[in-house]
């Protein structure tokens, strides 16, 4: 039985049997399977006498995951202890989400990030109350602190000025420098390498879907780059393969603008860690700056922001490459960042509709212009 057939069979079993989640080891197969007993088990363990007495589900919000808020009421002991009045959940309940997050490794990555990586970080990232997945069915759930009342989440057109961009590179520097160059990261943190994560996406149909998306977005892509269609996939593969010979660290892996938020007291924060992997810092930096900044601002600020990023990680003891070598890596990684969004525009048949078309087109335009401005295709093909 193939992995896809296994996931489909176990999904059908769950739909048929519809078990309730009662203990901490249970993973709810959908939000209707959640019970007060399960919520008590995952939220109240450290508070004697506390229990969840009732809850209500917020509106569904489906994209790359099945997302909902849960509003909670507690027993007196729970109320007095300051347990959260609400939590924010993301899950892989639907079949397409189980297939996507199972085959790519995204369900595994996010759970392992919150278990093995998040406790070591002192940067603005949501805390998880609970994170679990079933390695057979790839049903998963992450129960996060609900930060909605203290942050503003960025949309695809959120204005990112120079100060906010500097906040983004400061957060990435804090992430990357914490783990940079350490031996056996993949084994110790239980994360895939970025090339392995990409290979999993290819097995799901990434090459075909991104080729389709590239052609569908012709109006957003500079004519010079669009004319090089035959070179786009080989250059993308090269941009990923280079990570096999570069120093590694923990990557966010999908740090487009809509993953960022602004706290009400100023700092930038980053959420959604289902593409976390081990690779070179250049993947995150290229992707974050080119998707977050307008084309004009990226052209004006990218070299200065890269130089500042290198200074920040050097201050934490990271051996940094010469600036021009670092800039070459920055250029190359535009190709895999662009690939992530042409594939999102026209997803493979087993993948869900992950983002609104408008968001995909905005990011494709920004990333394609960056790739064209920086001659990213040639940089990749000669690496």
CATH no., domain 151-381:
3.90.1200
Strand 151-153 relative to strand 249-251, pairing: unpaired
The separation between CA 134 and the C-alpha centre of its own chain, rounded to angstroms, equals: 19
**Angle, nearest 10°, between helix axes 206-216 and 334-345?**
80
C-alpha to C-alpha distance for 141 and 67, rounded to whole angstroms: 9
Handedness of CA 300, 303, 306, 308 (dihedral sign): negative
Q: What is the pLDDT of residue 348?
A: 86
List of E strands, the chain? 52-57, 61-62, 66-74, 86-92, 128-133, 140-145, 151-153, 249-251, 260-263, 268-270, 277-279
Q: What is the pLDDT of residue 7?
A: 96
Residues in the chain: 383
* Per-residue pLDDT reduced to its tens digit, 308-324: 999 999 999 999 999 99
Q: What is the pTM of this model?
A: 0.95
Q: What is the pLDDT of residue 62?
A: 87
C-alpha to C-alpha distance for 46 and 246, rounded to whole angstroms: 43
Stretch (H or E) spanning 256: none
Q: What is the pLDDT of residue 280?
A: 97
Strand 52-57 relative to strand 86-92, pairing: unpaired
Handedness of CA 49, 119, 309, 283 (dihedral sign): negative
Q: What is the pLDDT of residue 374?
A: 98
**Segments of the chain scoring below 50 in pLDDT:** none
Residue 85 near residue 56, CB atoms below 8 Å: no
Stretch (H or E) spanning 290: helix 282-292
Q: What is the pLDDT of residue 383?
A: 84
C-alpha to C-alpha distance for 321 and 277, rounded to whole angstroms: 21
CATH no., domain 3-145:
3.30.200.20
Going from N- to C-terminal start, the domains of the chain cover 3-145, 151-381
Share of the chain above pLDDT 90, in %: 92
């Amino acid at each position: 039985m193939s992995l896809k057939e296994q996931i489909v069979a176990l999904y059908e079993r769950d739909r048929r049997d519809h078990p309730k989640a009662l203990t901490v080891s249970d993973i709810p197969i959908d939000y209707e399977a959640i019970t007060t007993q399960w919520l008590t088990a995952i939220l109240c363990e450290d508070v004697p006498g506390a229990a969840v007495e009732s809850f209500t589900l917020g509106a569904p919000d489906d994209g790359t995951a099945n997302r909902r808020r849960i509003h909670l009421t507690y027993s007196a002991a729970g109320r007095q202890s300051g347990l959260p009045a609400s939590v924010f959940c993301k899950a892989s309940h639907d079949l397409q989400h189980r297939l996507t997050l199972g085959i790519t490794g995204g369900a595994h990555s996010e759970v392992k990030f919150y278990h093995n990586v998040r406790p070591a970080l002192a940067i603005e990232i949501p805390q998880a109350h609970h994170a679990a997945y079933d390695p057979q069915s790839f049903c998963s759930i992450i129960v996060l602190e609900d930060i909605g009342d203290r942050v503003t989440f960025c949309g695809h057109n959120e204005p990112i000025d120079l100060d906010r961009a500097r906040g983004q590179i400061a957060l990435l520097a804090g992430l990357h420098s914490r783990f940079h160059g350490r031996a056996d990261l993949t084994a110790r943190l239980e994360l895939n390498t970025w090339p392995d994560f990409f290979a999993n996406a290819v097995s799901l149909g990434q090459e075909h879907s991104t080729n389709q998306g590239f052609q569908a977005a012709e109006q957003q892509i500079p004519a010079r780059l669009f004319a090089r269609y035959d070179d786009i996939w080989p250059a993308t593969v090269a941009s990923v393969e280079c990570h096999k010979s570069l120093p590694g660290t923990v990557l966010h892996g999908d740090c487009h603008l809509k993953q960022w938020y602004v706290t009400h007291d100023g700092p930038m924060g980053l959420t959604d860690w289902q593409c976390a992997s081990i690779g070179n810092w250049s993947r995150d930096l290229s992707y974050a700056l080119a998707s977050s900044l307008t084309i004009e601002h990226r052209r004006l600020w990218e070299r200065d922001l890269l130089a500042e990023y290198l200074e920040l990680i050097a201050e934490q003891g990271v051996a940094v490459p010469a600036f021009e070598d670092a800039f070459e890596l920055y250029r190359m990684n535009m190709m895999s960042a662009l690939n992530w969004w042409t594939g999102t525009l026209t997803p493979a048949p087993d993948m869900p509709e992950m983002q609104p078309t408008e968001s995909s087109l905005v990011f494709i335009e920004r990333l394609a212009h960056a790739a064209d401005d920086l001659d990213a295709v040639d940089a990749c093909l000669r690496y």
